């Protein structure tokens, strides 16, 4: 077992999410060398400093049991991908986590995570939310989807579920970041929802297939949500809730933190109000969210035209782009028909093209961006062509 | 007509609230000289610069008709006082308004406005408020009253009325600042409420008896609410509402501006949320309001003991102070009985003593402050004595 990908797949069985000792070893030694030392003979592996002998023995036990070949084969069978840093699929935003960066990500779904993450917003909040909170999550998610933004959440009951559903219901893109293996339906009642997210969007996590969630894994999962997205909106949260941890983490990473206000009498808004007393921005609809997260110049490709030459697009993505008519928006099914690609995948490709600045959403449909490569402006048919 | 008070009483019939030309003339000439020039012979009055001849003619017409002797006599008959700058009753906070400072204030009610204003908070908001807004106004006002704070508002329907009622219901002090004469029941449906406020607190305004409100008078009334108080809380307000004007005015005067969040779906919270996106502080209960406005060191006499020697207290106030038992809180009716002063007036005196640092509220009752003149600390009976 010598490959970087296999070594990292094995390490997802050895290192718990966010293990900064492991992250440092990885940075200093590389994955292959680190696995080599952990699985090497009986002598104490050199350079693995910072942890006690007992903990090190635990790492070595887990490393000895890891079978990345089997894991990767089973994943491929189940159409689960494994994506590692430094490859074109890796969302480089996660590098901001430093030594707490995930070793790799297991992914269900066809979408281009790297492109999607460029235009993504996290919606998080209480499991036991109020009808008001669920309404706000669903309507914010729908509004973000309609504006071409990807909604990222944690697939939990309550706000998370409402956010994913709101995005799906608007024909939008959504990403569920799990605290367990991507093949594990947790919570059980969201098995169907997770299937729909994987079909139309992405389900991902750092933990290898079959892993179950633990309280600390939930907390550490939140750092991935925070780092992956350009901003985090807390919809409803009680004092001392996990969503506030995500929000503060996002803040610490330089992401934009937002909160949806609610009645001062609601315990489920108290945590959000606490955030709003600090650095978080108050938002009451999707337009306000987009105004905040979309204002970061270098990350707003639609303001500058595509960020990638057309001939570097992946073949299926290029086919979807070719299928869009000139000068008017097209509906999803028309694009699917013209490109010969299924509707679910077309959604993913369109969001990818959106992130890269080639297309924009217009009401129910999609159209070519006004800004074309080279800076020329498309005029006919664009609603905003007259400005 | 030569006295300062009479001249200022006359000027409340000549100058509209907030007239800065009039304010400048007053500052430059004094009230007596200004009235003399306005009522003088047919030649153009010297030094009354800044306004055109037509407007000046209007001033002179109104000055000629003014009869301050009659106004002051009628006011005295109706137990309405007229208070002017530079006298011991004048709330010096209003001097922050510069040339837009009121010429004088007409007052119904026995309380000491100057002392009350030291510990006052404005609660303002929409007329057509929601049940949530009314609940919040009432409960904030009750909580402020219980903490010994005076609730100032505008006596309008909706939030204003709920704020006054909340303070009254908690046996607290409240001040209504009107955009009309203090003898005019506006709005009509609040005639009874205004009577109760005058009985237990204060009803005041800049306009002479008999004056009716106009849209511009409402707007300018708001500057008095903003200046008089240490902070303004907006409970519910739509976009572009008058309450936001009061709040921004308060901000401009260096007062603390606060807002009560509400559902993002409520149009009547949209204006508050707009404020909260700016410099306003988010508050959800009275304790948070007090924490914000009470933190201004030099204005928090309870932290330093009384601010006035005991023998400078007015006789009735001193009697109320004498009536308080040592070492334990007393109920209002007991204080009234012991002092031989009516309950309504006792409330006013207690708030005055509270502002001056002599007493503090304890639950339903009142007790002598721990901090006594000279910095000695009262111990027995104080709930906080052990700290």
pLDDT category at A242 given cuts 50, 70, 90 is: confident
- The pairing of beta strand B281-282 with beta strand B256-259: parallel
- Tell me which of 1.10.10.10, 3.40.50.720, 3.40.50.150, 3.20.20.70 is the CATH number of domain B301-375: 1.10.10.10
B174: pLDDT strictly greater than 50: yes
Q: What's the pLDDT tens digit per position in A168-218?
A: 999 899 999 999 999 999 999 999 999 999 999 999 999 999 999 999 999
Architecture per CATH, domain A302-375, reads as: Orthogonal Bundle (1.10)
The ipTM value here is 0.72
pLDDT of residue B47: 64
Return d(Cα A107, Cα A79) in angstroms, integer.
9
A285–chain B Cβ distance below 8 A for any pair: yes
- Kindly report, as residue ranges, where domains of CATH 1.10.10.10 are found in chain B: 301-375
**Chain B, nearest residue to A259 by Cα:** B264
Q: Which one of A133, A257, A264, A292 makes the best mutation probe of the B interface by having the most chain B beta carbons within 10 Å? A: A264
Within chain A, what is the greatest distance between any pair of CA atoms? 73
* Chain B residues with beta carbon closer than 8 angstroms to that of A264: 136, 260-262, 283-285
Return d(Cα A289, Cα A273) in angstroms, integer.
17
Average pLDDT, chain B: 87
Given a contact cutoff of 8 angstroms between Cβ atoms, the answer to whether A137 and A125 are in contact is yes
CATH for A92-297 is 3.40.50.450
A140: pLDDT strictly greater than 90: yes
* Chain B residues with beta carbon closer than 8 angstroms to that of A265: 132, 135-136, 284
> Strand ranges (DSSP E) for A196-321?
202-205, 231-234, 256-259, 281-282
pLDDT category at A46 given cuts 50, 70, 90 is: low
B130: pLDDT strictly greater than 80: yes
User: DSSP string covering B288-316, please?
Assistant: HHHHHHTT-GGG-GGGT--SS-GGGS-HH
Return d(Cα B155, Cα B194) in angstroms, integer.
7
Q: What's the pLDDT tens digit per position in A29-44?
A: 999 999 999 998 655 5
pLDDT of residue A295: 62
Contact between chains at A281 and B277 (C-beta distance less than 8 A)? yes
Given a contact cutoff of 8 angstroms between Cβ atoms, the answer to whether B72 and B6 are in contact is yes
Of B215, B273, B225, B271, give the one whose Cα is nearest residue B246: B225
If phi > 0 it is left, if psi is from -120 to 50 it is alpha, else beta; for residue B67 that is beta
Report the C-alpha dihedral over residues A253, A254, A258, A259, rounded to 10 degrees.
40
| Chain A from 17 to 76: CB within 8 A of any B CB | none
| Residue B379: both structure tokens together | 């111990």
- Kindly report, as residue ranges, where domains of CATH 3.40.50.450 are found in chain B: 92-297
Q: What's the pLDDT tens digit per position in A324-375?
A: 988 888 988 899 989 988 888 888 888 888 877 788 888 778 888 875 443 3
Q: Which one of A233, A273, A282 makes the best mutation probe of the B interface by having the most chain B beta carbons within 10 Å? A: A282
Which long-range CB contacts under 8 A does B32-39 form with residues at least 24 apart?
B32/B2, B32/B3, B32/B4, B32/B7, B34/B7, B35/B1, B35/B7, B35/B10, B35/B11, B35/B63, B35/B66, B38/B14, B38/B63, B39/B63, B39/B64
Return d(Cα B142, Cα B346) in angstroms, integer.
18
CB contacts < 8 A, A to B, total 54
B239–chain A Cβ distance below 8 A for any pair: no
**CA distance to partner chain A, nearest, from residue B262 (Å):** 4
Mean pLDDT of A143-157: 95
Q: What's the pLDDT tens digit per position in A359-371?
A: 888 877 888 887 5
Return d(Cα A8, Cα A68) in angstroms, integer.
8
**CA distance to partner chain B, nearest, from residue A140 (Å):** 11
Of B165, B145, B154, give the one whose Cα is nearest residue B127: B154
Given a contact cutoff of 8 angstroms between Cβ atoms, the answer to whether A346 and A337 are in contact is no
CB atoms within 10 A of CB A16: 14
| Three-class DSSP labels, B93-162 | HHHHHHHHCCCCEEEECCCCHHHHHHCEEEEECCCCCCHHHHHHHHHHHHHHHHCCCEEEECCCCCHHHH
Mean pLDDT of A207-234: 94
End-to-end CA distance of chain B: 59
* Chain A residues with beta carbon closer than 8 angstroms to that of B273: 261, 282, 284
B136: pLDDT strictly greater than 90: yes
pLDDT category at A80 given cuts 50, 70, 90 is: very high
> What pTM did the predictor assign?
0.77
Given a contact cutoff of 8 angstroms between Cβ atoms, the answer to whether B146 and B286 are in contact is yes
Q: What's the pLDDT tens digit per position in A294-335?
A: 865 434 444 444 556 677 788 888 899 989 988 888 988 899
Return d(Cα B245, Cα B100) in angstroms, integer.
16
CB atoms within 10 A of CB A236: 31
A258–chain B Cβ distance below 8 A for any pair: no
Interior CA angle at B363 toward B358 and B369, to 5°? 20
pLDDT of residue B43: 56
B116: pLDDT strictly greater than 60: yes
Average pLDDT, chain A: 87
**CA distance to partner chain A, nearest, from residue B290 (Å):** 15
**Chain A, nearest residue to B139 by Cα:** A265
pLDDT of residue A381: 34
């Amino acid at each position: 077992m010598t490959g970087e990908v296999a070594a990292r797949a094995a390490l997802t069985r050895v290192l718990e999410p966010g293990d900064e000792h492991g992250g440092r070893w990885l940075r200093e030694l590389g994955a292959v060398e680190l696995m080599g030392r952990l699985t090497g003979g009986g002598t104490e592996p050199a350079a693995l400093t910072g942890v006690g002998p007992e903990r090190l023995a635990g790492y070595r036990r887990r490393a000895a049991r890891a079978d990345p070949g089997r894991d990767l084969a089973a994943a491929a069978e189940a159409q689960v991908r494994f994506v590692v840093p430094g490859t074109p699929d890796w969302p480089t935003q996660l590098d901001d986590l430093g030594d707490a960066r995930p070793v790799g990500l297991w992914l269900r779904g066809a979408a281009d995570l790297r492109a999607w993450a460029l235009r993504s917003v996290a919606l998080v909040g209480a499991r036991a939310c109020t009808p008001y909170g669920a309404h706000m999550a669903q309507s914010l998610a729908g509004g973000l989807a309609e504006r071409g933004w990807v909604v990222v959440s944690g697939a939990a009951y309550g706000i998370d579920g409402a956010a994913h559903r709101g995005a799906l219901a608007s024909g939008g893109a959504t990403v569920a970041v799990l605290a367990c293996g991507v093949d594990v339906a947790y919570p059980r009642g969201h098995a169907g929802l997770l299937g729909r997210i994987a079909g139309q969007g992405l389900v991902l996590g750092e933990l290898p297939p079959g892993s179950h969630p633990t309280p600390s894994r939930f907390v550490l999962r939140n750092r991935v949500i925070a780092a992956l997205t350009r901003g985090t909106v807390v919809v409803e949260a009680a004092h001392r809730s996990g969503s506030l941890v995500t929000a503060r983490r996002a803040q610490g990473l330089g992401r934009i933190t937002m909160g949806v206000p609610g009645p001062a009498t609601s315990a489920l808004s108290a945590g959000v109000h606490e955030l709003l007393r600090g650095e978080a921005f108050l938002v009451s609809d999707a337009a306000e969210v987009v105004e905040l997260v979309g204002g970061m110049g270098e990350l707003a490709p639609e303001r500058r035209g595509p960020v990638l030459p057309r001939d570097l697009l992946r073949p299926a993505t290029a086919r979807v782009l070719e299928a869009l008519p000139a000068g008017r928006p097209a509906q999803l099914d028309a694009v699917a028909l013209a490109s010969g690609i299924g509707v679910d995948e077309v959604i993913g490709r369109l969001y990818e093209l959106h992130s890269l600045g080639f297309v924009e959403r217009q009401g129910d449909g999609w159209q070519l961006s006004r800004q074309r490569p080279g800076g020329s402006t498309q005029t006919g048919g664009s609603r905003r062509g007259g400005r």
